[in-house]
Chains A and B, each alone.
Chain A
């Protein structure tokens, strides 16, 4: 067997285990829509820990983390700071959302907002923004899976085939098992990601340079500018302190606003489970450190990959590691991609059906029809994401650019979510217009980056415009039922 045969064999075993875990998990939930979308609100700490960790760190972190520290040095540290900061507010927000969710049967973030603000328009707007943001994110995960498989097999597996096989597996277990399939495969995938990252991240600096300290001392001698913040831009110029700082802030604010992450609050068994997950989250996040070390190891490496994000596979393929290790690395990268991609496909389909289709069409549907439509929605999103992924490879569009726009839009959900729990005066008209103004301002600034003051992240400026709009419009409009809002907020605080 040549090297690429070994790699393909390991990846095949990895995918088969995924499929078995994902399909087997389906027996753990009821066949209701609450079972399919929120796992009958029965996720324990183990599953919640891995769902949160493995979902939030995608192929973008696994391959892009090393890519950033390799090409941009300390700029990568921003990724290190925002996870914990983004998770912290959820210590209060998570249980608040879960309590109203249990009482009123919410399955998604947008359905929660719609009920709180007494307006279908809120659900439809938030739902559309969410689904549009999710599509490039899915496409990016699919590309990541295809590209890694293509690289480690010496181009023997074409990108379209690698993406199709990995995401074929994802769609099968999402179809059969819904969120429970996502949850239990994420346990398996999360363990894989953490073990591979730590093993390679500690081994590579040691094997190449004799240790982490030695490696950094040698980098300091040639490129000291890579070792202090804010590091460099993608083109190698110094990054600005304003851009570094605002990237941390906007990512922290947006982190838990991603609907596929937020809605896991409705899947948790109880408040304690949510809080325990948050306590343990930093231990998952620490796996970024070894990934950064691999990227730093690339700075002194004698050869360079074509693209910065390929630095990790490049080192692994050219440093004489055994084929088994190459195969395990590939499975780790696929795990990072699939653990995010499955939650996106599942979450996106749930939102598209529950918040947009049902409300906009006004159709009454029973449990089983809803579940069936969500399943077909997941397949449709998978196919759509796959089409976008292939199209962007063919035309050369940047999906990362699209994802940045998506992130800019998702951050705009923050005022609607926070103000729902913190104020009584915010109105539906306020949050809808804020969401639209914030998204438009962010998009305009992404397309015209030179008009941003001090290089500040477009999402922050959009957020300020959003907040100002929410406040102004809420002051001139009225909440239809103040008692509902008072009760709703009181219920969210019960047991604090």
Chain B
């Protein structure tokens, strides 16, 4: 269980690294559609930060059993 979650979390952060840097960022590097009034690419960065909060939380739960 721990191992699987560790690996999934690792995969999440690798995916995050690839998609916030070029060339991975290219398809998301746009102004429209705006999200909550923010340009799409800014909302995309914000989305990763909020998602990482969730991933850290799952990791924490699994490790504090």
Q: By the criterion CB–CB under 8 Å, are B42 and A77 in contact? A: yes
- Kindly list chain A residues whose C-beta atoms are within 8 Å of the C-beta of B60: 275-276, 278-279
Question: Shortest Cβ distance from B60 into chain A, in angstroms?
Answer: 5
Say yes or no: A248-B50 contact (C-beta < 8 A), given A74-B42, A216-B34, A227-B41. Answer: no
- Kindly list chain B residues whose C-beta atoms are within 8 Å of the C-beta of A244: 21-22
Any chain A CB within 8 A of the CB of B4?
no
Any chain B CB within 8 A of the CB of A486?
no
- Kindly list chain A residues whose C-beta atoms are within 8 Å of the C-beta of B21: 81, 244-245, 248-249
- Kindly list chain B residues whose C-beta atoms are within 8 Å of the C-beta of A84: 16, 48-49, 52
State the majority secondary structure of interface residues on A: helix
B3-22 CB contact bits vs A (8 Å, 1 = yes)?
A: 00000010001001100111
Q: By the criterion CB–CB under 8 Å, are A289 and B46 in contact? A: yes
Q: By the criterion CB–CB under 8 Å, are A220 and B31 in contact? A: yes
Query: With the chains together, A463 CA to B31 CA distance in Å?
Result: 34
Any chain B CB within 8 A of the CB of A212?
yes
From A85, A228, A279, A496, contact of B41 by CB (8 A): A228
Query: With the chains together, A224 CA to B41 CA distance in Å?
Result: 12
- Kindly list chain A residues whose C-beta atoms are within 8 Å of the C-beta of B20: 81, 85, 248
Q: By the criterion CB–CB under 8 Å, are A228 and B46 in contact? A: no
Query: With the chains together, A294 CA to B55 CA distance in Å?
Result: 29
- Kindly list chain A residues whose C-beta atoms are within 8 Å of the C-beta of B36: 212-213
Q: Looking at chain B, what size class is its interface with the partner chain?
A: 20 to 34
Question: Shortest Cβ distance from A7 into chain B, in angstroms?
Answer: 32
Any chain B CB within 8 A of the CB of A332?
no
Q: Which of A81, A214, A278 has the most chain B CB atoms closer than 10 A to its own CB?
A: A81
Q: By the criterion CB–CB under 8 Å, are A227 and B39 in contact? A: yes
From A81, A212, A228, contact of B29 by CB (8 A): A228
Which residue in chain B gives the minimum CB-CB distance to A279?
B56
Query: With the chains together, A241 CA to B21 CA distance in Å?
Result: 8
Stretch at the interface among A167-175, A280-288, A361-369: A280-288
- Kindly list chain B residues whose C-beta atoms are within 8 Å of the C-beta of A242: 22
Q: By the criterion CB–CB under 8 Å, are A282 and B17 in contact? A: no
A57-79 CB contact bits vs B (8 Å, 1 = yes)?
A: 00000000000000000100100
Binding site for A on B (CB under 8 A): 2, 9, 13, 16-17, 20-23, 25, 29-31, 34, 36-39, 41-42, 45-46, 48-50, 52-53, 56-57, 59-60, 63-64
Closest 10 CB pairs of A and B: A213-B37, A245-B21, A241-B22, A212-B37, A279-B56, A282-B53, A81-B20, A227-B39, A84-B52, A80-B45
- 16 A-B pairs within 8 Å (CB atoms) are namely A74-B39, A77-B41, A80-B42, A80-B45, A80-B46, A85-B16, A88-B13, A211-B37, A216-B39, A228-B30, A229-B22, A229-B41, A248-B21, A275-B56, A292-B42, A496-B2
Q: A84-B16, A229-B41 are in contact. List 13 more A-B contacts (CB 8 A).
A: A74-B41, A80-B49, A81-B16, A216-B31, A216-B38, A227-B31, A227-B41, A244-B21, A245-B21, A249-B21, A275-B56, A285-B49, A286-B46
